[in-house]
A and B are shown apart, each in its own frame.
Chain A
Amino acid sequence: MAGMKQSELAKRADISPSYLNLIEHNRRRIGGKLLVDIAHALGVEPGSLTEGAETALLTTLREAASGADMPEAEFARVEEFAGRFPGWAGLLADTQRKVEALQGSVEALTDRLTHDPHLAASLHEMLSTVTAIRSAASILVEPGDIEPEWQRRFNRNIYEDSARLADTSRSLAQYLEEADSDASETNAPQDELDAVFQRYGFHLPALETREADVDAVTETLGQDLSQAARWLLRRVLVRYRSDARKMPLGACADVVAVSGHDPFAFAERFDYDLTSAMRRLAHLPEDILPDAVGLAICDGSGVTTFRKPLPEFPLPRLGAGCALWPLYRALARPMMVHVDVMEQSARAAARHRGIAISQPIGPVRPHEDVLFESHMLIVPEPKRDTAEPIRQVGLTCRICPHASCTARREPSIMVTS
């Protein structure tokens, strides 16, 4: 290079000719001052003698080695290894980077490990594969000690394992993506269901006809929903259709004309149970029932399974509402109608009448416990003097100002003390 003798260059760079020989044959890496000295002696740019990629390669190899608790004497030979086996060194560095990335994702996912069997199996598979790769890579990173046959063997193992890792991580990513899109933007299937009724309203003409097909309507309304939300939607629509058959629109209009939104009048007129009457009222169109009524349905665990809120009687999106609502008290005394005039303290004290009953769901069998479900119809109530007691209730504890309430289950952000 540059027409200069090796001995002359070694002299100018102040190193021994044999050391320069090692450098030239890539048995030693150079850097820092020595690199600058040689470049200066040769009259070229230091950068032209080495490449930045090599520094990155060595850094990665050192990381792999430090993770493997490499003896110091071996650790010092990393440059020799990278110089003599650039291909293997590159492969090892790639593997090390993959292992690091995978270790990162594995750590991030350990929380879910105990909850999801599919995830647990995938992670176990990935950890096993990463372990095999790491062990083989650590063996390879120690140069000189391995016979070529073993070297080939471990390289083949790393190759196979990394392919396996690629498959497992791809299927895991796909699984996670599906799990994510299942939850869609709203997270909870119940939220998706609410969005459907917000969009189409609670009255569905498609279910009022004699030929109404629940599956077809579910398909139309639920096309963008997750599978879980579609399942919820179908369950609501099956009930809707059954109620609509027993209480046709025309007859409903007649009852409303006489008794307004009185669910007892509906139950009596159609000789049907009170909860069906409540649901029918909640799904009537505006031209038959101008003053909309609200409805909340919860199962025996208190979880809301259906909600039609009113502007001044909101229902919580997540979790249960106020334990003082007759909806929940009805669960303690099934088959009895609870009627309360309520003022939701957080809502400028608008007044509503809650009519609630809890009834068995499913067939009743001898000597078997039944499960209960509670309905609460919410009817706006004019504010006027009344002999009836007015119950102060909340929406959820977090936004309720009643400091001393026996039903409180969590502190309020509105009560400073």
Chain B
Amino acid sequence: MSKQVLLIEDEPNIIEAISFILSRDGWSVKTHSNGADAVEIVKERKPDVVILDVMLPGKSGYDILRELREDPENSALPVLMLTARGQTKDREIAERAGCDAFMTKPFSNADVLETVRALAAK
């Protein structure tokens, strides 16, 4: 069975592009676009890797990540954070919240693919 990536992002065309490159690489890709119930969706789907955008409707990616880390089942779940703000302090916030990798928009497809592979191999 192929490994599953859950992409939590609210920009439809980014979802389509990332889904395409990951699917082509053999991943099973599930997507979700709302921050408010993102934590529930993660618990339900039990993905191998989560790609999490910071700016989501309903709840910020940082808060979602903090909640996930408080849950023993998801404290070690590999999470790649995406943000449109590449300032040092954003990276710091993301790292303190417990992300495994951090990427700023606009990113390259190859980087996303490589990072997801690396996170899944951990």
Please give the residue numbers on chain A whose beta carbons come within 8 Å of chain B beta carbons, in ascending order.
67-70, 99, 103, 110, 113-114, 123-124, 127-136, 138-139, 145, 150, 153-154, 157, 160-161
Contact = CB atoms under 8 A, between A and B. Distances in A.
A99 B107 CA distance: 12
B109 A132 contact: no
Contacts of B24: 145
B21 A139 contact: yes
B73 interface: no
B77 to A, nearest CB: 24
Given A123-B84, A124-B84, A131 B20 contact: no
Contacts of B111: 69
Contacts of B14: 128, 131-132, 135
Contact of B13 (A103, A123, A136): A136
Contacts, number: 73
B17 A135 contact: yes
Given A69-B110, A135-B21, A160 B13 contact: yes
B122 interface: no
Nearest to A125: B84
B84 A134 contact: no
Contact of A135 (B55, B85, B109): B109
A128 B11 CA distance: 7
B16 interface: yes
B103 to A, nearest CB: 10
B18 interface: yes
B108 A67 contact: yes
Contacts of A110: 85-87
A123 B83 CA distance: 12
B106 interface: yes
A130 B105 CA distance: 8
Looking at B11, B14, B20, the one whose CB has the most chain A CB atoms below 10 A away is B14
A150 B24 CA distance: 12
Contacts of B107: 131, 134
B13 A132 contact: yes
A127 B21 CA distance: 20
18 contacts: A69-B111, A113-B87, A124-B55, A124-B84, A127-B84, A128-B14, A128-B84, A131-B11, A131-B106, A135-B17, A135-B18, A135-B21, A135-B109, A136-B16, A139-B17, A145-B24, A157-B16, A160-B13
Contacts of A153: 16
B107 to A, nearest CB: 7
Given A103-B106, A127-B84, A139 B20 contact: yes
Nearest to A156: B13
6 residue pairs, one from A and one from B, having the closest CB atoms: A135-B17, A69-B110, A132-B13, A127-B84, A131-B105, A131-B106
A139 B11 CA distance: 17
Contacts of A145: 24
A145 B87 CA distance: 36
Nearest to A66: B108
Contacts of B105: 127-128, 130-131
Interface string B14-41: 1011101100100000000000000000
A110 B16 CA distance: 27
A161 B11 CA distance: 11
Contacts of A136: 13, 16-17
A69 B87 contact: no
A216 B48 CA distance: 69
B49 to A, nearest CB: 18
Nearest to B110: A69
A99 B106 contact: yes
A129 B21 CA distance: 18
Contact of A134 (B20, B86, B106): B106
B86 to A, nearest CB: 8
Given A99-B106, A135-B17, 20 more contacts: A69-B108, A69-B111, A70-B110, A114-B87, A128-B11, A128-B84, A130-B105, A131-B11, A131-B107, A132-B11, A134-B107, A135-B13, A135-B14, A135-B21, A138-B17, A138-B109, A139-B109, A150-B20, A153-B16, A157-B16
A40 to B, nearest CB: 42
Contacts of B85: 110, 113, 124
